Amino acid sequence: MAETQEAPPVIRARNLSKSFGKFHALKGVNFDIPLGRIVGVIGANGAGKTTLLNAVLGLSSYKGELSVLGLNPARQRGALMKDICFISDIATLPKWMTVKEVLEFVQSVHPRFSHEKALTFLARTKVPMARKIRALSKGMIVQLHLAIVMSIDAKLLVLDEPTLGLDIIFRKQFYQSLMEEYFDESRTIIITTHQVGEIEHILTDVMFIKDGEIFLEANMDTLTQQFTEVMVTPGKEQEALALGPISKGTTFGKTTCVYKNKDRETLAKLGETRRLGLADIFVATMTGDEQ
């Protein structure tokens, strides 16, 4: 029986670099993103997240090797855009058009856009078809943008702070629609956001980026099993520090230590333990002693 050949990665980067004068925004990063994954690219402001996405989208020049859906984004952006959709916190829809005109325009320029599907999505919102984009609230613009994206048969969706400035109800609805009506194993999604806690439940993988470098790359299932926080019982501080925590602090007057890949039963003898969420893992690894 012939072996099944593994599908090539949707995105493959080797020694990917980008500089702005003397500032190195990306410093020779290497990574693969397989098909059917939802990857969170997490980093502080200025870490290189948007620079990375711009390279993937063919919006920026770069050094090194980069393949997206088998294409070179710098040279083959026109072909690549047929299979990629992009949403950012910066509204890119033409403000002088009405909602109806925007849908008609997208239908005229994108061969894989379903006008009927977009109307179905918008029918569940309060977005008025006759109103100009400039007169819509930010929440309505995001809903319209999402309706357009979900009506395009694309293989890769890139989201750069897609819900920035929206209230919690809109944010929850956005990700719920994304998971229930768009994502499947034939699509790949990349998300950057500072609202880490709101997306960790949908992520399959995560990349932490710091100062232009990939600091950590992991599967979410294994990542959350690796880190444990201990609220140390008074009198056991020295014993806790001897185990080599990656970060330490104080909560309610008690010493807290974060450990990576330490036996949980051993840690339980030091005090109360808990699993860390993604945001806490990010803070612990970025500000702690692990390098």
pLDDT digits 0-9 by tens, 42-62:
998 888 898 999 999 998 899
Give the pTM: 0.84
CA distance 254 to 112: 57
Query: Quick check: 71 pLDDT over 80?
Result: yes
CA distance 279 to 42: 9
Instruction: Give the tens place of pLDDT for each residue, 116-140.
Output: 999 998 988 889 999 999 999 888 8
Query: Quick check: 103 pLDDT over 70?
Result: yes
Q: Which domains does the chain have, with CATH numbers?
A: 11-211 (3.40.50.300), 223-287 (3.30.70)
Q: Which helix (H) or strand (E) holds 30?
A: strand 23-33
Cα 158 to its chain centre, rounded Å, is: 8
Rg (CA), the chain: 22
Question: Quick one: tokens of 56?
Answer: 């993937």
Instruction: Over range 252-271, report the average pLDDT.
Output: 92
Q: Which residues pair with 258 in a beta bridge?
A: 229, 247
Q: Which residue has the tokens 């990700």?
A: 175
φ, ψ for residue 209, nearest 5 deg: -120, 135
**Amino acid (one-letter) located at 170:** F
pLDDT band at 253 (very low <50, low <70, confident <90, very high): confident
Instruction: Evaluate whether 200 touches 277 at the Cβ level (below 8 Å).
Output: yes
Phi-psi region of 21 (alpha: psi -120 to 50; beta: other; left: phi over 0): left
Query: Quick check: 78 pLDDT over 50?
Result: yes
**Cβ within 8 Å of residue 263, ≥6 positions away:** none
